[in-house]
């Protein structure tokens, strides 16, 4: 998938209804010869002025530049679904394209101030609780693992009852991170709401900035993505969430000397417990 099509995908959710019609047509017909602006107007039922605005939205000076870039794109169609009969390489390509697009959108949706605030909240807190159910628990577990390597006190919780217990025992010294792709996982939302009533700060890691989880949160980390029916586990959003967590982990390790020392200390202990093949003389 070429850069132009990636820009269209990453800007899609912020487009107007008419602009989405133009985007859909270009994404589905990128392997065809580019149309004139008049032809594209007729195909999409949009005005030429709207097409020009669309071109500028995705970083082009106008439709002429969009047309040139589209002609230079590779012949891959940006597929929005995996179809029966797709071969492994085709499935891999479609998933890779979607993951790349999702990572770009996550980068656009989370500016420096969001990451800075997340790091500040984490370093100021005495104890972190990370809530996630099902697939989101895998992300919570990964985050917990990284925080522990930094020498921070944290716990990943994937059981709904334990979430309620931990949330009830939380206070102002506790920071809660709620992870949910949809932002509508009731167990996670309820536990975060209880913790917030107890004075805890809440960070939401979700793909929906208007979800119930986002409304409870003090800070939102967006992992926006296109999740289709065949992706029962929210695959692409998970990659974005892991990348966001890795960014925060790296920022904390770089900015705080104590955490750097903890990482080095833990790494040396882990390495000491590995088996190595003896060199032959």
Q: What is the domain partition of the chain in residue ranges? A: 3-78, 106-271
Q: Tens digits of per-residue pLDDT, 157-169?
A: 999 999 999 999 9
Place of tokens 């912020």: 14
Number of CB atoms found within 10 A of residue 200's CB: 22
- pLDDT at residue number 241: 94
Residues (pLDDT < 50) of the chain are: 75-79, 227-233
Give the span between the Cα atoms of 23 and 35, in whole angstroms.
Answer: 13
Buried-state track 55-66, b at ≥16 Cβ within 10 A, e below 16: bebbebeebeeb
- pLDDT at residue number 259: 82
The order of strands in the sheet holding 219-222 is 154-157, 127-132, 174-180, 201-206, 219-222
**Does CATH place domain 3-78 in 1.10.10.10?**
yes
3-state secondary structure of 222: strand
Give the span between the Cα atoms of 69 and 79, in whole angstroms.
Answer: 19
Question: What does CATH list as the number for 106-271?
Answer: 3.40.50.10490
Q: How far apart are the first and last CA of the chain?
A: 51
- pLDDT at residue number 78: 43
- pLDDT at residue number 137: 95
């Amino acid at each position: 998938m070429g850069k132009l099509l990636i820009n269209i995908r990453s800007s899609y959710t912020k487009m107007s209804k008419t602009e989405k019609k133009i985007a859909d047509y270009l994404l589905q017909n990128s392997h065809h010869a580019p149309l004139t602006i008049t032809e594209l107007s007729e195909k999409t039922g949009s005005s030429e002025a709207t097409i020009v605005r669309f071109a500028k939205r995705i970083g082009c000076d106008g439709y002429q530049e969009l047309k040139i870039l589209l002609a230079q794109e590779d012949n891959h169609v940006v597929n929005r679904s995996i179809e029966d009969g797709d071969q492994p390489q085709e499935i891999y390509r479609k998933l890779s394209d979607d993951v790349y697009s999702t990572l770009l959108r996550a980068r656009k949706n989370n500016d420096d101030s969001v990451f800075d605030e997340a790091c500040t909240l984490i370093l100021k807190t005495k104890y972190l609780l990370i809530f996630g159910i099902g697939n989101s628990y895998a992300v919570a577990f990964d985050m917990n693992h990284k925080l522990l390597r930094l020498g921070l006190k944290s716990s990943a919780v994937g059981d709904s009852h334990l979430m309620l217990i931990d949330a009830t025992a939380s206070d102002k010294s506790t920071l809660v991170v709620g992870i949910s792709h949809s932002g509508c996982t009731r167990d996670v939302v309820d536990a975060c709401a209880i913790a917030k009533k107890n004075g805890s700060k809440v960070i939401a890691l979700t793909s929906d900035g208007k979800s119930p989880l986002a409304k409870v949160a003090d800070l939102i980390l967006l992992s926006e993505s296109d999740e289709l029916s065949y992706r029962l586990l929210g695959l692409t959003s998970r990659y974005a969430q892991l990348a966001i967590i890795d960014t925060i982990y790296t920022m904390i390790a770089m900015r705080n000397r104590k955490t750097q020392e903890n990482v080095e200390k833990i790494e040396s202990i882990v390495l000491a417990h590995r088996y190595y093949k003896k060199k032959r003389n």
